[in-house]
């Protein structure tokens, strides 16, 4: 039975092995009416105590194996067991409904998880898995079953499961586990993040098709392409053994670029920086030899909680990142909420078109104290590294001027209180609105740098939502109109002695890099995993030749023509 299946590549790599399918525990415990709710609450508290001991052991093991950031996942699990919304709510359910503890925990946890899964924000949706992991462990203690069957492994295997909890993933025995496949999940789930830290190939989000894969079957797991071949032919096995060897050789070759400067073949130096969305991403940034952080999204500090983060909470995070980057530039973007990102604890008006409404800098200028708290935390953290502050969604010079005035007011207050603030902070803006690109000359006189946010710039320029499949064909990063806007921004910055970066997906695109290098882009900011391939590619490119290539591309009429031009150039360069 030879089957080809497709999912989402969550952690790159290629593995070939037999399958071990993890059987999910019964999802819903038997509902029982109890005569003594007080005794049932004591059962629950004992189970919580045992679950905490288990999680603390996993936390310590993860700390030793993967470091502080990954261990923080289990600190969050311990906090969940102290959260009144979970355990106290379960105790109330036992008292009021006179039901057994395992049913109470299951019902309360299911309600919380369903609420999280209904959120617009992907990271919040993924946190439903944490609630399931913690509640499942408590229920396992109550019913007296082992939480996971992973200890049964005694030979090399690729795991297949409906899902892997964070604690399952953290405890994988790498002597036997060669990779995993799950029915649900995404690249942002904790199991995917753990897999990348363990350098374990993983394909997630397979859906019901994964149920066709059974224990004992041989599979090829291609976590580069996100594909799975069940019961491969001899020819497929031969081909993939060669692909696996070539992939691992290429990974080793890329690793040789970790400590190299980001230089073109003709000696032109650029910066290859990383985009991060949480402190957890920092380990990969350092591991891949990034020249800095070109985009630190701060929204994670505000999400998945019931109130705004304090100044002290934010300061602690910003200081940690700046210290870890050890003098390399860290560009921290101020809060970019609105559009597809909402904060449930903020009573913001519903808008008919939130992407064109009060979001990002517009919201921050309107919510003055929220903005000032973040800026104070940033200014205080500036004493611990090379900080650049970046404002998102700037459309007009007046917005930049207003934001800069607030920064200066908060600086004066801090210095009056004898709190150290760096005098070398750069203040820049994201260029993601066509009006800002067209007026880049005036903005360059007020900003220290630009960072082109191509994801939104392309959407607004082409009037096409890239998540809408019916118009996704119009989302064209290599279209000459986009390249002309990029060129306009870079030229305006250079005339005013400013540098320009790019922090959208385009910055790490192999077809776009030669064009961007030729247009004079100074900083390319991308996912940490893209840095080494980008550095290797740039080392083979001549900046002078790329400048000629870019000028030709600006005169073309379609994305297809641009891509054809770039690929012809790359083909000639390789031969």
Residue 158: inside a domain: yes
State yes or no: 255 annotated in a binding site: no
Residue percentage of the chain with pLDDT more than 90:
64
* pTM confidence score: 0.71
Range in 70-84, 271-285, 335-349, 456-470 the model is least confident about: 335-349
State yes or no: 456 annotated in a binding site: yes
Which CATH number does the domain housing residue 171 bear?
Answer: 3.50.30.10
Residues 198-239 have pLDDT tens digits of: 889 999 999 999 999 999 999 999 999 999 999 999 999 999
Residue 60: inside a domain: yes
Residue 251: inside a domain: no
CA distances from 321 to 89, 188, 198, 223 (A): 36, 20, 22, 30
Distance (Å, rounded) from C-alpha 529 to C-alpha 285? 8
What mean pLDDT do residues 76-104 have? 89
What mean pLDDT do residues 509-538 have? 95
Read off the pLDDT band of 150 (50, 70, 90).
low
Residue 32: inside a domain: no
Domain match, 500 and 516 both: yes
Which CATH number does the domain housing residue 552 bear?
Answer: 3.20.20.60
Domain match, 95 and 162 both: no
Distance (Å, rounded) from C-alpha 316 to C-alpha 215? 47
Range in 43-52, 368-377, 418-427, 467-476 the model is least confident about: 467-476
Domain match, 155 and 127 both: no
Residues 420-447 have pLDDT tens digits of: 999 999 999 999 999 999 999 999 999 9
Q: How many domains does the chain have?
A: 3
State yes or no: 245 annotated in a binding site: no
Domain match, 286 and 368 both: yes
Read off the pLDDT band of 58 (50, 70, 90).
confident
Residues 481-512 have pLDDT tens digits of: 999 999 999 999 999 999 999 998 899 999 99
Alpha helices in 507-574 (DSSP H): 513-519, 531-539, 543-554, 559-574
Domain match, 170 and 283 both: no
Domain match, 422 and 535 both: yes
Domain match, 188 and 138 both: no
Domain boundary among 110, 128, 143: 143
Instruction: Indicate the SS3 state at residue 507.
Output: helix
What mean pLDDT do residues 473-485 have? 95
Structural domain range at position 16:
3-22+150-232
Contact 169, 148 (CB under 8 A): no
Query: Distance between terminal CA atoms of the chain?
Result: 42
Sign (positive or negative) of CA dihedral 298, 301, 302, 304: positive
What mean pLDDT do residues 526-548 have? 95
Instruction: Indicate the SS3 state at residue 461.
Output: helix
State yes or no: 398 annotated in a binding site: no
Distance (Å, rounded) from C-alpha 457 to C-alpha 230? 41
Domain match, 501 and 569 both: yes
Catalytic residue list: 190, 503
What mean pLDDT do residues 327-350 have? 82
State yes or no: 333 annotated in a binding site: yes
């Amino acid at each position: 039975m030879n089957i080809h299946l497709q999912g989402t590549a969550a952690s790159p790599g290629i593995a070939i092995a037999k399958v071990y399918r993890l059987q999910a525990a019964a999802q819903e415990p038997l509902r029982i009416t109890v005569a003594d709710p007080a005794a049932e609450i004591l059962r629950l508290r004992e189970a919580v105590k045992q679950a905490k001991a288990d999680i603390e052991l996993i936390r310590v093991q993860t700390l030793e194996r993967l470091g502080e950031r990954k261990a923080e996942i289990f600190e969050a699990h311990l906090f969940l067991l102290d959260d009144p919304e979970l355990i106290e709510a379960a105790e109330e359910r036992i008292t009021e409904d006179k039901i057994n503890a395992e049913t109470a925990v299951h019902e309360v946890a299911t309600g919380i998880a369903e609420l999280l899964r209904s959120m617009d924000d992907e990271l919040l949706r993924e946190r439903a898995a944490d609630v399931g992991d913690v509640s499942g462990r408590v229920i396992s203690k109550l019913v007296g079953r082992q939480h996971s069957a992973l200890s049964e492994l005694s030979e090399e295997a690729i795991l297949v499961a409906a899902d892997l909890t964070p604690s399952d993933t953290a405890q994988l025995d790498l002597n036997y586990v060669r990779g995993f496949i799950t029915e649900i999940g995404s690249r942002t789930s904790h199991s995917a993040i753990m897999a990348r830290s363990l350098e374990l190939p993983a394909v997630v989000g397979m859906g019901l098709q994964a149920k066709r894969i059974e224990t004992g079957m041989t599979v090829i797991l291609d976590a580069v392409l996100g594909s799975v071949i069940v019961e491969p032919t001899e020819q497929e096995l031969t081909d993939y053994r060669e692909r696996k060897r070539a992939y691992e050789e290429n990974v080793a070759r890329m690793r040789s670029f970790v400590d190299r400067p980001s230089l073109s073949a003709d000696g032109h130096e650029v910066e290859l920086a990383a985009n991060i969305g949480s402190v957890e991403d920092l380990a990969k940034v350092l591991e891949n030899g990034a020249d800095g952080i070109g985009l630190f999204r701060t929204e994670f500090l505000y999400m998945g909680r019931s109130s705004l983060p304090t100044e002290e909470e934010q300061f602690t995070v910003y200081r940690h990142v700046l210290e870890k980057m050890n003098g390399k530039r860290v560009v921290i973007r101020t809060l970019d909420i609105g559009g597809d990102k909402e904060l449930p604890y903020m009573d913001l008006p519903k808008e008919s078109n939130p992407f064109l409404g009060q979001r990002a800098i517009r919201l921050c200028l309107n919510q003055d104290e929220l903005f000032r708290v973040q800026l104070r935390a940033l200014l205080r953290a500036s004493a611990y590294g090379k900080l650049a502050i970046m404002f998102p969604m700037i459309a007009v010079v007046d917005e930049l001027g207003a934001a800069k005035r607030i920064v200066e007011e908060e600086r004066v207050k801090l210095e009056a209180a004898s709190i150290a603030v760096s005098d070398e902070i750069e203040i820049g803006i994201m260029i993601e609105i066509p009006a800002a690109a067209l007026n880049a000359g005036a903005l360059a006189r007020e900003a220290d740098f630009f960072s082109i946010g191509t994801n939104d710039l392309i959407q607004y320029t082409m009037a096409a939502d890239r998540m809408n499949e019916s118009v996704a064909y119009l989302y064209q990063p290599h279209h000459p109109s986009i390249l002309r806007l990029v060129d306009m921004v870079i030229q305006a910055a250079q005339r005013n002695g400013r540098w320009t970066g790019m922090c959208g997906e385009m910055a790490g695109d192999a077809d776009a890099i030669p064009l961007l290098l030729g247009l004079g882009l100074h900083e390319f900011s991308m996912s940490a995993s893209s840095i080494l391939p980008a550095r290797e590619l740039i080392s083979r490119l001549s900046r002078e030749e790329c400048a000629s290539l870019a000028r030709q591309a600006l005169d073309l009429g379609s994305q297809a023509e641009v891509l054809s031009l770039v690929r012809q150039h790359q083909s000639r360069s390789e031969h």
